[in-house]
Amino acid sequence: MLRYRWIYVVLFAVQSLAAFRSAGAERPELPASWQQQWNAKIGLWTRQGAGHTAPVATAEQVHPGTNAAAQLVAAAVVERLDEVDAGAVLKALRQMQVTDGGSRHGCLKWYWEEPRPVDTNAAFFTGLNLIVLRLGFPDQLERLDADARGVLEAILTDLSVWFDQTLTHPSRYYPNKYMGDLVCRWLLLETLGQQAERQRVAAEMLASARYWREENWGWGEHMSNIYASVLLDQLSVLLMLAQDLPAAVRREYTALRDDLLAIEDAYGSGPRAPMIRDYNFTGSPAYDNYRDRVRRVQTAEDLSSGNLAMRPVLAELGWSSCFQLRCRLPHACVPRQGQDSLVTRSARRTDKPCRNARPTASERT
């Protein structure tokens, strides 16, 4: 019955984010700061201050590729991709990518100023933005010139090589990094038509899901405000955009997402733990439930996207329609080791379809 419910929903769903356009009068202008920070010589936006890696620790300004990729997605969400020089950004990102056939082939630098990739998490941050741009906004990409579209395809193709390498040495204990690698690898598999890799990647995704559920997410990043949000971004994009995800993988990753949402509900706006990215031991860091941060763009301020621009995209895809109401019983929400949370059990009972998610392969038949 679930399959037929999905087919019914898909009859009224859209194939991409293109159908979620706001009327022109409702589209906010791009922030004025984007034009002020634009460096046409490099093809990236300038950020004042040092970067977080050693080569740029004392720099007066940097040009982060992760933010630039996120800004392309943010511009596309409000149908203003043609108002930025997307071709120049893509060419700059391509120059920041390792293409020497070595052990880091396909990886990207975080900053233009770095001599080589230092923080290799730049690959999944930049990559996930570009994958969403490719899958979610084909109409706007078609308006770019052929060279720009070719550069995007080249970046994604070489990224698949990098993520293949990361999967041969799983770092499951480091979930926000390895989840990003897995999500990007699967979505690239679908995007680039690399079906020969399907079974291998799916098997690793299942093995990793088992590890995260049995080992409390490895390093415990599910208890970090920042890293839990990154994990929810990654899981949500995978579940909303993947068309050919095997049923077992979808089931396991839906459960992981729902457990993270249960923790969001349990802690509300309070801190979870003081030791992971919450260094103010005498205060209470402000924090909004992830559910409340998945919202459509209303003003230019909403386009300040950081390293990922996923939540406005998720809002356009109808993310909020996928879930039951948030859990109001904190102790019941948080799963114990080896147990499902109330939210997860509820989601498994109802199998509620997402209103506007892209149809899966079985649902299209």
pLDDT at 302: 83
Average pLDDT over residues 285-290: 81
pLDDT at 4: 39
Find residue 174's DSSP bridge partners.
Answer: none
* In a domain? residue 24: no
DSSP 245-266: --HHHHHHHHHHHHHHHHHHHH
Q: Does residue 61 sit in helix, strand or coil?
A: strand
Q: What is the pLDDT of residues 2-19, one digit of tens each?
A: 443 333 333 333 344 544
pLDDT at 226: 87
* In a domain? residue 181: yes
Please state, as a whole number, how many other Cβ atoms lie within 10 Å of the Cβ of residue 16.
Answer: 15
- Locate 236 and state its tokens: 């949500």
- What residues make up the domain containing 255? 2-18+29-364
Q: What is the domain count for the chain?
A: 1
Average pLDDT over residues 111-137: 97
- The percent of residues above 90 in pLDDT, for the chain, comes to 64
Query: What distance in Å separates the CA atoms of residue 84 and residue 263, rounded to the nearest whole number?
Result: 38
pLDDT at 341: 41
Q: What is the pLDDT of residues 330-342, one digit of tens each?
A: 444 554 444 444 3
Q: What integer best gives the mean pLDDT of the chain?
A: 84
Q: What is the CA radius of gyration of the chain?
A: 20
Are the CB atoms for 192 and 233 separated by under 8 Å?
no
* In a domain? residue 168: yes
Query: What distance in Å separates the CA atoms of residue 47 and residue 309, rounded to the nearest whole number?
Result: 17
pLDDT at 321: 82
Please state, as a whole number, how many other Cβ atoms lie within 10 Å of the Cβ of residue 240.
Answer: 22
Query: What distance in Å separates the CA atoms of residue 33 and residue 74, rounded to the nearest whole number?
Result: 14
Looking at the predicted structure, is the pLDDT value of residue 250 above 50?
A: yes
Query: What distance in Å separates the CA atoms of residue 280 and residue 274, rounded to the nearest whole number?
Result: 7
* In a domain? residue 23: no
* In a domain? residue 174: yes
pLDDT at 100: 97
Q: What is the pLDDT of residues 66-104, one digit of tens each?
A: 999 999 999 999 999 999 999 999 999 999 999 999 999
Average pLDDT over residues 124-151: 97
Looking at the predicted structure, is the pLDDT value of residue 267 above 70?
A: yes
